[in-house]
Amino acid sequence: MRYIKTFLFLLILFIIPVFLFFIISTSLKSDKANLDNTPTFAIAIHGGAGFMKKESLNDEKYKLYIDKLNQALSIGINILENNGKGLDAVEKVINFLENDSLFNAGKGAVFTHEGKNELDASIMDGKTLNAGAVAGVTKIKNPISAARKVMENSKHVLLSGDGANKFAEKQGLEIVDDSYFFTTEKYNRLQKILKKEQESEKHGTVGCVVLDKFGNLAAGTSTGGMTNKMYGRIGDSPIIGAGTYANNNTCAVSCTGHGEYFIRYAVAHDVSALMEYKNLSLEEATNLVINKKLVTAGGAGGLISVDKNGNISLQFNTTSMFRASYQSNGKRVVKIFKD
């Protein structure tokens, strides 16, 4: 009888750990399955948010924008698939958009009140929280590359005006004549606004956010500013925490819209803070900031974002945002309007 009791006791002692092991290993397996389904890299890009109407865009122009967004996206995907760094993907995608006159950045920059082109850009590395930006530059072909040089080859974060032009030239970046930024369409837009035939267009920016295969997040934004802007106005695009932010603990964000509101609401940093301190998901955080806080304040615009798990959120409270995104597990989006 005593032996039976001892036997039962040992049996129970044995069964409990085996049972626990079974439960734990099953739950680990289901975690692994989830992990296998998460993307190893992800990318999103934007070409500005605004109040474009579907009917104002003919089929040809619609196709042109969609093609350009697809091409830009493919440049980024190609870099990331081949184990490229997130920062390289951000810079090269934005270079492509800067070199195309369709978007308000680089070549396609709009004109200031005085008929000049003043460009802004910023970039941030989510791994180190290093950042670089340029504001009000006039001679740099690719402002996002100047922002990266500021981040990597200077002690500073933000350089402005002629000083920033000089720095970029010293760094060997391509310097162009004022005439490079002349495009008839953007020049005519200024003339119409000056004659009060058209309202000022506040929104127009390009941006890119990336999660690379090494788990690093990066974000970049580049803009030609506002048509008819005066007094050396600087918007949110070159402001780290407003127009651009990346942090490996949370997410990477690039904004587009009425810059003044994005500065006052520290939009890009706020999304990250809501995730880090309030445990909101990327979708919840971007929805709260863009569709509640900014809408209440009257701030029009949007943002693209990717979190450390490769989730993507493309959020805007306007009628349109040129946008594209891709996750390595297969989901590709290229859109202009709400649906």
Given the rule CB under 8 A, which residues bind its own copies?
124, 129-131, 135-136, 154-164, 166-167, 230-235, 239-242, 245, 259-260, 263-266, 269-270, 273-274, 277-278, 297
Cα(149)–Cα(74) distance, integer angstroms: 24
Cα–Cα nearest to 119, from 100, 88, 144? 144
Nearer to its own copies, 241 or 302 (CB): 241
Cα–Cα nearest to 94, from 139, 141, 135? 141
CB of residue 239 vs its own copies: minimum separation in angstroms?
6
CB of residue 126 vs its own copies: minimum separation in angstroms?
11
Nearer to its own copies, 234 or 252 (CB): 234
Which residues on adjacent β-strands are paired with residue 12? none
Nearer to its own copies, 3 or 277 (CB): 277
Give buried/exposed letters for 268-299 (b at 16+ CB in 10 A, else e): bbbbbbbbeeeebebeebbbbbbeeebeeeeb
Give buried/exposed letters for 14-53 (b at 16+ CB in 10 A, else e): eeeeeeeeeeeeeeeeeeeeeeeeebbbbbbbbbbbbebe
CB of residue 338 vs its own copies: minimum separation in angstroms?
27
How many residues in the chain?
A: 339
* Contact between 193 and 199 (Cβ < 8 Å): yes
**Orientation of helix 86-98 relative to helix 143-153, angle to 10°:** 150
CB of residue 324 vs its own copies: minimum separation in angstroms?
28
Nearer to its own copies, 115 or 232 (CB): 232
The residues annotated as belonging to the active site are 205
CA 298 remoteness from chain centre? 22
CB of residue 131 vs its own copies: minimum separation in angstroms?
5
> Rg of the chain's alpha carbons, rounded to an integer?
24
Nearer to its own copies, 138 or 142 (CB): 138
CA atoms within 13 A of residue 15's CA, in its CB half-sphere: 6
Cα(25)–Cα(144) distance, integer angstroms: 47
Nearer to its own copies, 76 or 207 (CB): 207
CB of residue 36 vs its own copies: minimum separation in angstroms?
32
Nearer to its own copies, 245 or 316 (CB): 245
* Contact between 49 and 315 (Cβ < 8 Å): no
Cα(31)–Cα(68) distance, integer angstroms: 38
